Homo-oligomer: A and B are copies of this chain.
Amino acid sequence: MTTRRTIESLDEHKRELVVTLDRLLGAKEQNLGMIRNLLVDLHHADIADVLDVMDPEYAVRVLDLLDSETASDILAEMEETARTPLVELVPPHELAELVEEMPTDDAADLVGELDEAAAEEVLSHVAEEERQEIRDLLSYDEKTAGGLMESDYVAVRQDATVSMAIEAIRRAVEEVESIYYVYVVDDQEKLTGLLRLRDLLLSPGSRRVDEFMWADITSVPLEMDQEDVARLVQQYDLAAIPVVDDSGRLMGRITHDDIADVLEDEIEEDLMLMAGVSSDDIIERSSLRIAGGRLPWIMIGLVSALVAGLIIDNHEQMLEQYMVLAIFIPVVMAIGGSIGLQSSTIVVRGLATGQADLIHLGSRLLREMRIGLVMGLACGLSVGAIAWLWQGAWVLAVIVGLSMLMGILVAATLGAVIPVLLDRYKIDPALASGPFMTMSNDVVGLLIYFGLATLLLRWFNYAG
């Protein structure tokens, strides 16, 4: 990924800030106090947006002006594409200091973006314990619970009292960004319960936590797919979910903000795939690079359109005799694609949200076929009628109407089956709503059209 945000992607206030910062940093005599004053009231997430679009040379000087806690918060929020060139300008031991201040999940993300030598160099300056945590996090697949979690959390033993839990929070408060729960573990570090902060606030200090902890809690294994984790958190409206290893030991936690990102990214990815584009196109600067990313889809589509052309070429004689057949080529082609897109979109989303599955392939298929039948009859009859009224040839009306009906049935069926098959073979089912599939359905529609035309024209002895 080499995409960077453009300044146009920012709101007006931030754009102005970028211009002002650029001017101040480019001036001969730099007024560092003024730069600091410009940023002091801003949220680190907003400063991150601003640095995302600035020249790395300038951005690193802005970071230098801020205290290391703020600088670390900002780095954690920046886009990877802007962050990588920036951190290359920061001396490894200083970067290590910033990494140590970050939540472990962000620290691992940042270190994971560096090349191996640079990552090792930075890690060598990070304190032993934190270094091991980062290495552990880097070892998990990015798209799993392990890859998403942070290893900073507050946990106490079962025999701890409320006062001891509060002390544990006091010790952790620097390390753990947002504390929603205190986790309770046994002497093998196995997760046995959790405490909400309000429970601690309302209980006497001497009370043992296992007397009132929530023991019936939902946790997820390290290797669970991130989308499944997100669905679970959404189903139960959780603020954070604990992650455990095979033996039930507490390994980390995933908080609601990371979950929201997963849910949004997942569906955004599907939407982009449907059009054959990439989310990066929104913020990418280079037209050539964007075009390069989009062209493969278009080229695949071209090939399928050329196949359609080949089919027409093969029926040139028939067309020459019955020019009127050419008029309905657009109708026959366009509809199959749209119908297939509709069925596949529904099935793809059903698969993504867990509301469709392999077990019900049969019933789902039957349903999309029934829907296809209804739509096929509606379209076939109306287009058939139009063909009759327009051209006054009933054989044409039958050919057009019948190929609409059949084309729609086939498209609806393929639209429902293909995503499920792709899913079974671990290929992203959203591909089935992409331009290639849509255009393939066009080709199928055309094949049916000319096939029927050949058959019926011969049948009724229309040919000379």
Please list the residues of chain A having a beta carbon within 8 angstroms of any beta carbon in chain B.
Answer: 5, 8-9, 11-12, 41, 43, 45-46, 166, 169-170, 173, 178-180, 197-198, 200-202, 216, 218, 234-237, 239, 256-257, 259-261, 263-264, 267-268, 270-272, 274-277, 279, 281-283, 287-288, 290-291, 294-295, 297-299, 301-302, 304-306, 308-310, 312-313, 316, 319-320, 323, 326-331, 333-335, 338-339, 341-342, 345-346, 349-350, 353-356, 359-360, 363-364, 367, 370-371, 373-375, 378-379, 382-383, 386, 433, 435, 439, 442, 446
Contact = CB atoms under 8 A, between A and B. Distances in A.
Nearest to A167: B202
Contacts of A282: 346, 349-350, 353, 355-356
A354 B11 contact: yes
A237 to B, nearest CB: 4
Given A166-B202, A239-B239, A256-B256, A271 B345 contact: yes
A335 B302 contact: yes
B260 A271 contact: no
A298 B338 contact: yes
Contact of A435 (B270, B276, B341, B374): B341
A374 B287 contact: yes
Given A291-B375, A342-B276, A349-B268, A45 B236 contact: yes
A297 B330 CA distance: 16
A343 B109 CA distance: 31
A241 B281 CA distance: 31
Contacts of A433: 275
Contacts of A263: 260, 263-264
A413 to B, nearest CB: 13
How many identical subunits does the complex contain? 2
A330 B312 contact: yes
A457 to B, nearest CB: 17
A289 to B, nearest CB: 10
A68 to B, nearest CB: 20
A339 to B, nearest CB: 7
In the A-B complex, the 8 residue pairs with the smallest Cβ-Cβ separation, listed nearest first, are A308-B330, A291-B374, A275-B345, A287-B370, A197-B197, A237-B257, A9-B355, A305-B331
B446 A330 contact: yes
A200 B345 CA distance: 49
A345 B338 CA distance: 16
Nearest to A277: B342
A244 to B, nearest CB: 18
B276 A338 contact: yes
**Which of A11, A180, A288, A327 gathers most chain B CB within 10 Å?**
A327
A306 to B, nearest CB: 6
Given A5-B355, A45-B236, A310-B327, 5 more contacts: A271-B271, A287-B367, A295-B375, A306-B386, A329-B329
B298 A375 contact: yes
Given A237-B257, A287-B370, A330-B446, A298 B335 contact: yes
Contacts of A9: 350, 355-356
B327 A313 contact: yes
Contacts of A179: 198
Given A306-B331, A308-B330, A320-B320, A173 B202 contact: yes
Nearest to A279: B349
A383 B295 CA distance: 13
Given A267-B268, A323-B316, A8 B294 contact: no
Contact of A329 (B272, B312, B364, B435): B312
A265 to B, nearest CB: 10
A267 B264 CA distance: 8
B309 A328 contact: yes
A378 B327 CA distance: 29
A291 B256 contact: no
A93 to B, nearest CB: 29
